[in-house]
Amino acid sequence: MLEDDAIFGAGRRIMLSGAKIAERGAEIDYFRRQHGHCVAKFRGIDSIADAEKFVGAEIKIPAGELPAPREGWYYTFQLKGCDVFTGNGEYVGSLSAVLDWGGSRILKVDRENQETLIPFAQSFLRRIDLDQRRIEVDLPEDLRDLNK
């Protein structure tokens, strides 16, 4: 998620994708944040009935058009697919999603038929190396037990 919403200004061409729709282009009329959610109006989508199918859709902008994140910040797409390891080298799985659960972000890590949920917080993250596509985490035993 971006810190600066200026990139979502009126006239910006974006792509929308989600479970309820096929990916399609759209143009932003206006954008704002409200109670932790993004609210956008797209040109040509003028009724609530038309807009409802886009609830929960992702707004995509080409990576080359995004501002560089500040030090220690990452875009979700940069993290997806990274291999996740504990500090002692134990493979946890591959990061499949960054979930936003009401103000806190959670890393969803998948391995075979097992899902591990890890808070996206400094106390759990040791190192993120995007060049190596590797994330190292501190995974306390009680957190491991919750994920079994």
Residue-range domain boundaries for the chain: 5-65, 76-146
| pLDDT tens readout for residues 79-94 | 999 999 998 999 999 9
| pLDDT tens readout for residues 31-70 | 988 887 788 899 999 999 988 888 888 888 888 888 888 8
Q: Smallest Cα–Cα separation from 75: which of 148, 4, 126, 146?
A: 4
Fold adopted by 76-146: SH3 type barrels. (2.30.30)
In this prediction the pTM is: 0.71
Residue ranges in 1-148 assigned as alpha helix (H): 48-52, 76-79, 141-146
Q: Judge whether 137 and 123 are in contact, CB under 8 Å.
A: no
Percent of the chain with pLDDT over 90: 41
Structure confidence at residue 25 as a pLDDT band (50, 70, 90): very high
Q: Judge whether 28 and 10 are in contact, CB under 8 Å.
A: yes
